[in-house]
Structure 1
Amino acid sequence: MVSMDGIILGRVRLDSAGKGVLEVPVDAPVFAYLNGDVISAGMLLYPGDDVVIVPSANGTKVDIQFEGDGAAINQAYHEAQQNRNDFDKWNGKYYFHLPPDEFLKAKDSLRSYYDQLLTQLKPDDQIPAERLDLIKRQMDMHVAFYQFNFAIGKDSAEIPAQVRKFVSKIPVDTMAIQTGMFDYALIASQFYRNEISDAIYEENKEVDGDSLETIFPILVEQKIKAAKYPGLVEDLVRAMGVHVQIAMNGLTPDLLKTARKLGKELGSDDFKNAIHEDVAKWEKIGPGKPAPDFSGLTPDGKKLALSDLRGRIVYVDIWATWCGYCIEEFPDSQKMQEEFKGNDKVAFLYVSVDQDTLAWKKMMAGKKVPNGLHMLHGTNGPQSIWNLYHVSGIPRYLLIDGDGRMVAAHAERPSSGNVQAELRKLLTARHIAEK
């Protein structure tokens, strides 16, 4: 619910007849997802459930049928999941691009569809009221997410008043957290970014950027505490806040202090573990740690690896041709290089994460990039720069010393004007060490 990464409960390989049995550990009700080559389905699982999934008869509107425990609930949930995409567009437009009045019609249509599904389910011996309540909560949460997603990035005038009021607060539903409703995790993430993080930036526009970054974790904690959410909801938003801040800024001393505080105060072991994992993975690329190696192809088709530059201080610029913010930094990057022209102890490495090789080659040929070393590294595998350095957005900059050790996993931008001083300091330290 914090990182929104999937947790694999188990795997099964079907036999030649297309059959298989899978046992998974479930100690409380949980929303899970079955994913296979030809079958995908959302399910609500309870401890002790014996669930059977079989192909639907030809001509039916859904591809599979549930039998056994919770069959009716899971059938309705699966049908709802299959038909969600039908509501992503309204009269040919994606719902988040609709004008306010049209969006309200789309939202009401989604709500009506879910209500119709729910009227087919009646609490009785076969459908316990508790399961019915959870599936209704899940459908309510998707309608909530529908509104939160519509409101992202829009001015107040573009959002209907009722939606604007709704998304100004996070829905309070501890059962959504306990049962792992993915829509609720998405809402919590969006709520943190829009109503907490963005609000703090807006409220502190006059504060110097570096000063604000130092006190930002404290301001986040204060704003969340002031809202007085129920314990589990507050814990999720606090954990989500630290998770997002670490992803965006790396593990700064102030964030590390806040993370350790949460490790003592959060009531949920799952949330504590999520923050602990964030801290652990960033500490692996903390100052003084070996910089993970990566490689790519130069414009002339030769292989180049970070390790090939050992002995030189390396400033790494992670960018792409489609990233406007990246390209805006190039003039300052070129000016920065001029200060170290002829110094073979400093290397400027530009790592493109483009998937479109032709777009990269065209831009390189057009001489619209700074001088320096260039490589194409468009992979997203386990050993990609995305994963090795936990890149969540670009541009992103790394600073690595001559011994191949990390100086900064979130180095400053060329336009900051501060990189040159850091490079000179590293050069001085290396010169002294060589003596």
Structure 2
Amino acid sequence: MKLHRLMPVIAAMAFTSTYAGPVPASALAVIQGKATNEKVKKITLYAVKEGRKEEVATAAVNENHAFAFAVPAPKEGFYYVSSTDTKGRDARVYLKAGDQLQLTLNGSDYTLQSGSAENKALQQWDQHLKEIMLPAINIDTVTFESYFPVLEAFVPKVAGWKKAVNTPNKRFNDLLKFQMDVDMEYAAMSFLLMPRPKHPTVEQRPAFYRQIIQDKKYADARLLQDGDGARIISLYSTFHMITFMPKERPKTSEGLQNLVALFGNDSIKAVAITQSLTAYNTFEKLTEAMAPVQQYLVTDLQKERYLAYEKTLRHFAAGEPAINFSGVDVTGNKVSLQDLKGKVVVVDVWATWCGPCKEEMPHLSKLEEEMEGKNVVFLGCSVDEAKDKEKWIDFVKKQEMKGTQIFMSGWSDITKSYDIKGIPRFMVFDQKGNIVSVDAPRPSEPALKALIEKTLTKG
């Protein structure tokens, strides 16, 4: 099938490319195919981001049930092609620049008509894997009495299949061999943790289940190149728990500590944490559990997932604990909201480019003078971009700004945590570090001074 004939149904993907100009044909990867189910109208292509599938493009199915994706300079690795009738199993493919794939989607199965050596090897494995994966997710008729013999017969064959993986791409060969072990464990744990009329005892499990449990499990971050990697991490933590059922429920503060101790890689620990957030249904329980493991969340995506869930537990009501944030002052020292606990804290979120912010500054300066000697600190938080830090320092010095001034490096944690869409924004926190108001009156309004004085009297 010629590419130009499929152009009406091609979905060009917005992938980051290393090329400054048009992507050369040699760097373009193309996936073409057909869906055998006439009811399917749309096909979705997923990339993998930190162990989860991330939708990157959709393609309409034309009158001949055909679809196509053009992927400019793809990041080499696993991708997933999905139709609405895949029943939980997507077609897994391997893409690199220049690949040309042609496949047929048939519900939970796919057939590769043509493609790279990597994809031929991958489909061979996926066809083998169906022996243990499809019955693992069948909760209607498959029992452990019927499944365990299939699993036990399957496991010894894998060593021979690994030896047969010998494409010209050594990186792929190593990844697929690693993935084979991951896939087997995924299937075995999925079977055990699916709802069924009857479950086996630990003693009835085949020996394969015993070798799944390991100290510092998943020490290889390649697991996060798998679109089901995050789910596998969650499955393992559940499998570990039911295997070694604790006599007593762990303390809230120890839950995530115990979880990350299961794994041997910091990136995998971070995903385990973000996968487990919904176990905490109050803000207090969540923040208590997060305190000893917060350092593992280092990527923007990990932090965003945590903050998004944290927000679902908060309504920013008066009396709720503040969400901590931090910045650096003009001398480079780190200052956080938590550092100021014990005082009433008046926060001013502003920027040097913000006209309304500047209009409030004379009123703020007057208010600071009126509050001098009282248990109040004024904390200015600049959301100027990192590139404008020197401009901010010069502005603070030139304007002789009072209080404590810190630099937040852009539209950062403070704006995300407190859902700040526009500035200036004033917030007030009490001496205990709790919220008084996250949308307080401006200094030009007498109500702000009254609010501060009222908070001071409450102690």
Structure whose residues are more often helix by fraction: 1
Structure whose residues are more often strand by fraction: 2
Give the structure-2-normalised TM-score.
0.46
